[in-house]
Structure formats: C-alpha cells, structure tokens
Amino acid sequence: MDKIYFNGMSFYGYHGVFGAEAELGQRFYVDLELLVDLSQAGASDDLQHTVNYADIFTCVQKIVEGERFNLVEKLTAVIAEQLLTTFPLQEAKVKVTKPNPPINGHYESVAIEMTRRREDFAS
C-alpha cells in the first residue's frame, strides 16, 4: 500500500479542559500518514486517481479550527474518522501536537497519535 504524508500542518484552535484554553486558544500541529492505493495515479498522472491534497488540508482545518473539544484525544479521533469516511483511504495515522498544554514543568510539547482503518467505520 502507498502512503501520502502531511507534515507539520499548523492551525489555531480552542481545545482543552481549562477555561483559558477555550477562551484564548493556541496553536496545534497535525501530521498525517494516509494509506491509499496510488497505483492508478502513478500510471495516469491524473488528479482524479488520487486524493486532492488541498481537500485533505481543508478537511482537517475545518475540524481543528471549527469545532471545540475538551480532549486532544477526541480531536485526533474525529480527524481520523472524518478522513476515512470522506476520502478513499485504507488507513489514517493522525498525530496532533499541543505545544503549550497547561502543565507545570519543562517540555517541548505533548502529542496524541492514533491509527484507524476504514473498516473501523464500516456501517
């Protein structure tokens, strides 16, 4: 299976349990590893045979910037589900990084990574 990667997408969102997080918001970074069959696109050189990168970006942007979640875990799960139910992907690995959670200490960031498969959402 082939993969498409999105690295370091940056969005401003209002996710978090504490009031200041919901009021002030902060930057979130999203990385994707998407499993998809790209054999037809590789042979045809036709955008119709792959997923449009701009559409993937817009899908993630609408979720991160448009909805509000208490937990980064929920945000990550919603992104994975939306990608798998909207695009012809077999698997989506989604990593959401929150650089400044309200933790008293020294660290670079915290991140949640989830891998979901298309069949996880089959009806």
Measuring CA to CA, how many Å separate 111 from each of 16, 38, 52, 73, 85? 13, 29, 26, 9, 23
Is the distance from CB of 33 to CB of 16 less than 8 angstroms? no
Structure tokens at 90: 């077999």
Is the distance from CB of 77 to CB of 67 less than 8 angstroms? no
Q: Which of 102, 87, 89, 96 is nearest to 19 (CA)?
A: 102
Burial class (CB in 10 A: 0-12, 13-18, 19+), 112: middle
- Positions marked catalytic: 98
